[in-house]
Amino acid sequence: MIFPCIDLMDGKVVQLVQGREKALEADSPDEMLHRFAAFPEIQVIDLDAAMGRGSNGDLVRAIASKAVTRVGGGVRTVERAQELIEQGARKVIVGTAAFAATGANVPFLEALCNAIGRERVIIALDSKAGRIVIKGWRESTDLTAESVLEALAPYCSGFLCTYVDKEGMMSGTDLDWFRRLRAATPLEITAAGGITTLEDVRALLAIDVHCALGMAIYTGRLSLEKLVGLLQARH
């Protein structure tokens, strides 16, 4: 599966480099949905909510009403996750709140699964310099993605694994890291961060890892038509 990404900040569709520097503003959400119409599912991240400085709730609601979506960004309460599902999100991506100082935040994750169902939960494993980062990638933990997969697995249907070191830099990703993650869990894995070429995409799909694509499609490095062709060839 290939998921085009719609990242929202200040009411606009944007792309950031390593979660900090805004590299570009794109067309309106409606225009992006039109461009992404051939893809079965869209990934939507509310960056303002992730960074704790507001929200793009109306836009998220509008997008979720028009497309099949997995939505994340600032989902730090069970109520917020329920709200997203009610707004139309098919799955909810949870990052910061999934972690306690020593590993999985089990009380929160249990409550979340009870509220919306394990099958609707995706846990974000955002990794920078080998460590999981939280709070909009601004705070590093002592945890590695590989070390927490097993503990988190009972509380989600899959993982969104972002290689933050390469996010938005258009310089390729760390395929070896994704291979290690793939070997460590039977659950769905979606790769993000630095995926730049069709070869990257093919290599990830070949090991049964999904791809979430941002900068490479917004800048035209990856052709939407070729990506759709790749998906169709696999079915």
- Residues involved in catalysis: 7, 126
DSSP 206: H
Residues whose CB is less than 8 angstroms from the CB of residue 138 and which lie 6 or more positions away in sequence, other chains included? 19, 51
Cα-based distances in Å from 1 to 21, 190, 232: 28, 9, 10
The helix (H) or strand (E) run that includes residue 200 is helix 198-206
DSSP 174: -
Residues in the chain: 235
Residue 57 pairs with which residues in a beta bridge? Answer: none
Cβ neighbours, 10 Å, residue 173: 24
Q: Is the dihedral of CA 31, 35, 40, 43 positive or negative?
A: negative
Chain centroid offset of residue 41 CA: 12
